[in-house]
Structure 1
Amino acid sequence: MTFVSEFKEFLKKYQVLGLVVAFIIGAAATKLVTALVNDIVMPIVGALVPGGDWRVSTLDIGPVKFMVGDFVGAIIDFLIIALVVYLIVKMVMKEDATQKR
């Protein structure tokens, strides 16, 4: 068996191409969700919070500055990404269940 044929067999056996496609789509979805959060959600939150740009908010304890605003933004990013992934998986699982019938 040649190296090329072994490599092709490896790609087929472990479904590497599917993983690559999923990774690329995941990266694009992350960019989309980040844009949604930064451009739609955060301006609304910023309008509701006094002082406007809350992403740069810090909690100062002595000489230490905790970047609270940035952390809260990361939590919101994560929650929206988790929600989108959950909804996609739920939709795919529902399609699988209907196809098995």
Structure 2
Amino acid sequence: MKIIKEFKEFAVKGNMFDMAIGIIIGTAFSTIVDSLVGDLLMPLFSYVTGSINFEDLVVVMRPETANQTSVVLGFGSFLKHTIDFIVIALTIFLVIKAINKLRSKAEDETNPTEVTPKDIQLLAEIRDLLKQNQS
């Protein structure tokens, strides 16, 4: 019962919803990056290198025989997935960097655009006057 209670608290706090939204956006973004790399970048690499289809690049470790299946290292596919990873990692880095920059701007106490409410200003003035009178 304690686990169910903890799970309800977790779900109500919104963490689960934030995580679900992140997963959904990440999945959609992954398909976009797959298309970017597979449909745009890899054909450009193929054109530059002389019409090589990178996904078909393999090293045959053992050819197929009547008794055994072949053993193949598909390094072209690995190269494509590595480029996918680099694009996604770079994008996530840039997004987190932008979020951190916005967060630090919002937390900056010397930010002149942030106006202190009038009642807090009055309370600060009263505090300062009381300090002066006590001295």
Give the letter aligned to residue 18 of structure 2.
G
* Counterpart AA for 1:61: M
Percent identity at matched positions? 30
Structure with greater proportional helix content: 1
| Corresponding residue of 2:98 | 91
* CA-to-aligned-CA distance 1:22-52 (integer Å, 9 cap, x gap): 1111111111111111111111001012343
For residues 41-56 of structure 1, the aligned pairs below 5 Å read: 41-56=41-56
In 2, the alpha carbon distance for the partners of 1:58 and 1:41 equals 19
Larger radius of gyration: 2
- TM-score (normalised: structure 2): 0.64
Runs of 4+ in 1 over 6 A off after TM superposition: none
Larger RCO (CA under 8 A, 6+ residues apart): 1
Amino acid at match of 1:90: K
In structure 1, stretches of 5+ residues that fail to align are none
Computed over aligned residues only, the root mean square deviation of the Cα atoms, in angstroms, reads 2.1
The SS at the match of 1:93 is helix
Unaligned runs of 5+ in 2: 64-70, 109-135
